[in-house]
Structure 1
Amino acid sequence: MDTLEFQNYAGNHLPDDEVTRGEHGAAELCAGTVVLCSLYYIRLMKERRRRQVEQRRRVLRFRRTKARERLRFAVLWTSRVLSSRAVSTTTSVTIKESLGRQSDSNGCPSTLWDSVIEKAFTNFDWLESFRMTKSTFAYLCDQLRPTIEGIDNDMPSAIPVEVRLAMTLWRLGCSCEYRTIERIFGVSRYTIAKVVGEVCEAVVSILTPKFITVPRGEILQNTMKAFEQRFSVPQLAGVIGTFHVAICPPGELTGQYFNTKGWHSVVLQAVVDSDHCFWDLNIGSPGNSSDSQVLLTSELYEWGTEGSLFPNVTRYVGGVEIPVYMLGSRSYPLLPWLMTPFSEQSLPEHSELNKHFSSALSTSKEAYDRLKGRWSCLLKRINSDLSFLPIFVATCCTLHNICESRGDPFQEHWLEEAAEEELEQPSDGEEEEMEPEPMSEEIRDTLANTVWKQNGGL
C-alpha cells in the first residue's frame, strides 16, 4: 500500500476524533519544530555577534597599544632632540631663551613635534589618542600657545605646547592612571599633574567663554528653528539635564556628596542645543541634590526669574504669546521659561505633547553620551580637589563643543565602552511640587493644542 492509499484508508476507517487528534498532533509537532529552529538560530546569531564584538575589541586593543607605542616614541624623540640642543648652547643662556632662538628655524619645538608625529601617527591613532582630528589639535595649540608659554613654571625642562596638550588630552580621553602617562611621556607624575592643571585652566579662561554661552540673535533663531523642525515644538532654545560625576569621598561633608545610587558625586547641570552642544554649565552641587535644587541654586535660575536669560523674542501661537523657553524633565518646576511634560495625560493633546517632549529630551542624553564617550575620564572617580573639579569638567565640556562644532568624527565604539564602564546614574527625582504659575500652564496647554492639531488632531 503506497502513501496515498494509506492516507485514504486512514481517513476512511479511523474515527473522526482520532483523525482530528492526528492532525492537531502534526500541527503541534511542526510548530514546536519551528520554535526550536528559531531559538537555535537566535542563539547562533547571538554567539556570532558576541564573537564579532570580541574580535573588534581585540583589534582595537592591539591598535591602541601600537598607537601608545608610537606616541611614546614621538614624545621621547622630541624631548631628546630638544635636550641635546639645550645642552649644546652656552651655559649663560637659559632653556627658555634657547627655545626662543629656535623659534625662527625649522628645528623649533612645534615644527619638530609636527614632523615626528606626522610620520608616527595614523588618523586612527589621532582619534584614539587625542579624541580629535589633527586640525582641531593644531587649532587648540594656536589658541592656547600664548597663555601656556607665558606660564612661569618650575619644570626641570621646557615642554613644548604640543606635548603639554597631548598629555592633557590623553589624560581626559583615555582615563588612564598617571603612572601610564608617566611611562609614555617620560616625565614625573608631579609634572603631568601640573601640566594638566595648567592646560585645563587655560582652556577654561580662553575657550570656554567663546564656546559655552547663552545663544543670542541669529544663533538663537537657528537653534529654535532646528528644534521646531525636529520635534514640532516652537520657541524651544535648549534642553536641560544633569549628569553625576564620580569623585573620591571628600574629607568634609561626605554625606552631602553621597547620591541615591550609593556613590559620591558632584552634579553637572547643562543646557544643550539642537546640535548636542552645551550653552550653559553649572558644576559642583553635591550628589544628593535633586535636579530642582541644583537649578534653584544656579545663575540660570536667577537669570530666568529676572527675565534676562533670553531676549524678549515672543511668538503668537493660537492667540497666546509664547516666550523663548527651555525643556526639562518632570523633576524640574514648571515655569514660563522652563516647560516640563504633563504628569497626568487625561487628554490626547497632553499625550501627544509628551511624546514630542520625550523625543526632545533625548537630545540632552545624547549630548552626555557623546561627552563621556569622547572624554572617558568622566566615567571614573576623579581624584582631585573639589575646588579644581569644576575646571576639569568644564574643560571636557568645552572641548566637546569644539569637536562637535568642527565636525570631528565620533567613534561608535566609544559609546559601547562608556556603557560598560559607567556607574549607574541616579534617576530623575520626584516631580517638583512647586505651584506652577497660571501663565506656565497656559503656555503648555497652547503648545499641546498646537502640536495636536499639527499631527492630525481635531
Structure 2
Amino acid sequence: MSAVRALALALLHIIFIYIQRSIDACNSYWMRVVRRRRMLRKSLALRCIPPPLWRTRRTAMNRARFLAVAGIRVPRRYWIYPRSRDWWDNFVTAIWDDQLWIENFRMTRETFNELVHSIGHRLSRQRTRLRNPISVEMRVAIALWYLANCSTYRQCMNQFGVGISTVAGIVLEVCLAIELELLSRVVCLGPDVARIMSGFQKLGFPHCIGAVDGTHVAICKFKGRGREYINRKKFNSILIQGTVDHTGRFIDAEVGWSGRNHDAFVFVNSAICTAMDAGVFVPGNPSLTIEGVTVPPLIISDAAYPMRRWLMKPFNRPHTPAEAYFDRCLTRARTIVERCFGRLKGRWRCLRSQLMVAEENVTCIATACVVLHNICELKGHGIPEDDSPVRPVEVDEESLELPVGDRRHREEGKLVRDALARHMFRNREI
C-alpha cells in the first residue's frame, strides 16, 4: 500500500504542477492582450494630436519606433506622394522661349539639348512595373535650376514635383556626370594658342596664354573639421583657382583646396604649375628671345603668386618708367580673370551663398559650375540683368618666405620680367 500511495501522490503532484503552469501561461497571455490593447488606445490617442507635434524628424522617428515595438502596422497612405509636374510638362517644355531659358537655366533650349545628349547615357534609368523613371531632360533641368537660382532642395522639390531626397540625388548625379564627361573636353587650352596670344596682345600683354587668380566659395561648417576650412576672412570656404584665356574661358581649374591655404601654396601644388615648369602645357612651347633672354609662353598673376620664368607678376614698387608701364599693362590684362569669376558667380548663383552640401560633394558641384560656365561662354549666352556679375571674394596679399628651392625660379623670373618690361616700354604706342 505504501508504494501505491507514493505513486498516487507523485501523479497528483505532476497534475498540480501542470495545472499551475497552464494557469500562469493563461495569465501571461491575458496580460499581453491587455497591454497591447492599452498601447493601441495610446497610439490612437496620439494620432489625434495636431500635426505640428510630429513635424520634427526626431519625433517622427520616436513615433515609428513606438508603433514598431507595439506591433502595430500602419499602412502606407501613398506609395508615391502625389505631386504636380504641370509646370515642367506644360510650361517650360512647351511655352518658354530662349530668353526665359537663359534667365532660368542660363542656356538656350538648343544648348540644353546638347548637354543632355552629352551626359544622358550616365543619367538614364530603367523602367519598371512599379513606376516610370524621371526623364534625363528633367534631371538635368533640376540640377541647372538648383545651380542657377540659388535654390534649396525643398524649393526644387516644389518646383518640379519630386521628392526632396530625389532632388538631392539628382543634383549630385548630374554634377558628377558633367565632371566625368565634359571637364577634360571643355576646360582645356585647345590647339589654337596663337589666337589666345593675339587676344592678350590686344589687351596689352604679349606672348601670354592666360591669367590666373583664385576665389573663395563659402561652404557650411563640417562636423569635427570646421577649423580646417576657415580662411582669412573668418568663414569656411574652398578655393577655386582658375586660369583663363583672353575671352574669360577657363583653360585650367583647381577646385577643392581649403580656403585656409594661401593662393601661392595652391598654385605651386597645382597641375598647371607642374606642366608649365616641364614645358608641356602649351603645345610646341613656342618661345621668344628678347635681349638675349628666352621668354616662354607666359601666364600673368597678381603679387600673391610666386615668381616663375613663365609666371609674370607686377613690380608693385616700380622704380623706372618701364616698370610702371609693365605694371599698368599687366593689371589691365589680368582683370579678365576677375571679370571671369564675377560672371561665374553671377551665372551660377549657388556659388554666391553658402553651399549646404556634404564635404565630399562640394568639389563636384563647384567643378560642374566651371564646366557649365565654359559651355555658356562658348555659346555666347549672356547673364540676365538681375544677375549682374559680383566681385569675387579674394584673400589679402601676404608676403611669403619662399623656400630655398624657389630662389632659382624667382631669379629666372626676374630676368624674364626685366627684359620684357624694357621691350614693352620701347614698343609702346605713343
Structure 1: unaligned runs, 5 residues or longer: 1-73, 80-112
Letter matched to residue 417 of structure 2: R
**Any conservation in 2 of the 1:333–1:432 contact (CA below 8 Å)?**
no
**Any conservation in 2 of the 1:330–1:432 contact (CA below 8 Å)?**
no
Q: In the alignment, which residue of structure 2 is the partner of 1:19?
A: none
State which of 418, 421, 425 in structure 2 corresponds to 1:448. Answer: 421
Letter matched to residue 162 of structure 2: V
Tell me whether 1:383 sits opposite 2:356 in the alignment: yes
Q: In the alignment, which residue of structure 2 is the partner of 1:428?
A: 397
**Any conservation in 1 of the 2:105–2:144 contact (CA below 8 Å)?**
yes
Q: In the alignment, which residue of structure 1 is the partner of 2:157?
A: 182
Letter matched to residue 220 of structure 1: V
**Any conservation in 1 of the 2:299–2:312 contact (CA below 8 Å)?**
yes
Alignment CA distance shift 1:387-1:282 (3 Å) = same
Letter matched to residue 386 of structure 2: H
Q: In the alignment, which residue of structure 2 is the partner of 1:301?
A: 273
2:359 counterpart SS class? coil
Separation in structure 2 between the aligned mates of residue 368 and residue 432 of structure 1, nearest angstrom: 28
Alignment CA distance shift 1:170-1:154 (3 Å) = farther
Q: What's the CA shift for 1:118?
A: 4.7
1:394 counterpart SS class? helix
State which of 313, 325, 328 in structure 2 corresponds to 1:340. Answer: 313
Q: In the alignment, which residue of structure 1 is the partner of 2:102?
A: 127
Separation in structure 2 between the aligned mates of residue 131 and residue 196 of structure 1, nearest angstrom: 16
Letter matched to residue 228 of structure 1: Q
Structure 2: unaligned runs, 5 residues or longer: 1-82
Q: What's the CA shift for 1:318?
A: 3.8
Alignment CA distance shift 1:159-1:244 (3 Å) = same
**Any conservation in 2 of the 1:291–1:429 contact (CA below 8 Å)?**
no
Alignment CA distance shift 1:450-1:163 (3 Å) = same
Separation in structure 1 between the aligned mates of residue 250 and residue 268 of structure 2, nearest angstrom: 19
Q: In the alignment, which residue of structure 1 is the partner of 2:147?
A: 172
Corresponding residue pairs, total: 343
TM-score by length of 2: 0.74
- Amino-acid identity (%): 26
State which of 76, 84, 87 in structure 1 corresponds to 2:85. Answer: 76
State which of 250, 254, 260 in structure 2 corresponds to 1:278. Answer: 250
Pairs within 5 Å for 1:142-161: 142-149=117-124, 157-161=132-136
**Any conservation in 2 of the 1:352–1:448 contact (CA below 8 Å)?**
yes
**Any conservation in 2 of the 1:341–1:354 contact (CA below 8 Å)?**
yes
Pairs within 5 Å for 1:309-328: 309-310=281-282, 311-328=284-301
**Any conservation in 2 of the 1:332–1:431 contact (CA below 8 Å)?**
no
Tell me whether 1:405 sits opposite 2:378 in the alignment: yes
Q: What's the CA shift for 1:210?
A: 0.8
1:362-413 per-position Cα deviation (integer Å, ceiling 9, x unaligned): 0110000000000000011112222221111110000000010011122243
Q: In the alignment, which residue of structure 1 is the partner of 2:216?
A: 244
Alignment CA distance shift 1:78-1:162 (3 Å) = farther
TM-score by length of 1: 0.70
Separation in structure 1 between the aligned mates of residue 175 and residue 279 of structure 2, nearest angstrom: 32
Q: In the alignment, which residue of structure 1 is the partner of 2:62?
A: none
Alignment CA distance shift 1:121-1:206 (3 Å) = same
Q: Comparing 404-413 with 349-358, which one deviates more in the overlay?
A: 404-413
Letter matched to residue 241 of structure 2: Q
1:233-285 per-position Cα deviation (integer Å, ceiling 9, x unaligned): 22111101001010111223322211111110011111011110111111111
Alignment CA distance shift 1:409-1:153 (3 Å) = farther
Separation in structure 2 between the aligned mates of residue 287 and residue 160 of structure 1, nearest angstrom: 37
Instruction: From the two aligned structures, give the one with the greater helix fraction.
Output: 1
**Any conservation in 1 of the 2:127–2:133 contact (CA below 8 Å)?**
no
**Any conservation in 2 of the 1:292–1:432 contact (CA below 8 Å)?**
no
Letter matched to residue 243 of structure 1: T
Which structure has the greater CA radius of gyration?
2
**Any conservation in 2 of the 1:295–1:301 contact (CA below 8 Å)?**
yes
**Any conservation in 1 of the 2:230–2:260 contact (CA below 8 Å)?**
yes
1:55-80 per-position Cα deviation (integer Å, ceiling 9, x unaligned): xxxxxxxxxxxxxxxxxxx971388x
Letter matched to residue 206 of structure 1: E
Q: In the alignment, which residue of structure 2 is the partner of 1:25?
A: none
Separation in structure 1 between the aligned mates of residue 144 and residue 275 of structure 2, nearest angstrom: 33
**Any conservation in 1 of the 2:87–2:160 contact (CA below 8 Å)?**
no
1:388 counterpart SS class? helix
Tell me whether 1:363 sits opposite 2:372 in the alignment: no
**Any conservation in 2 of the 1:155–1:191 contact (CA below 8 Å)?**
no
Separation in structure 2 between the aligned mates of residue 446 and residue 301 of structure 1, nearest angstrom: 22
Separation in structure 2 between the aligned mates of residue 300 and residue 123 of structure 1, nearest angstrom: 37
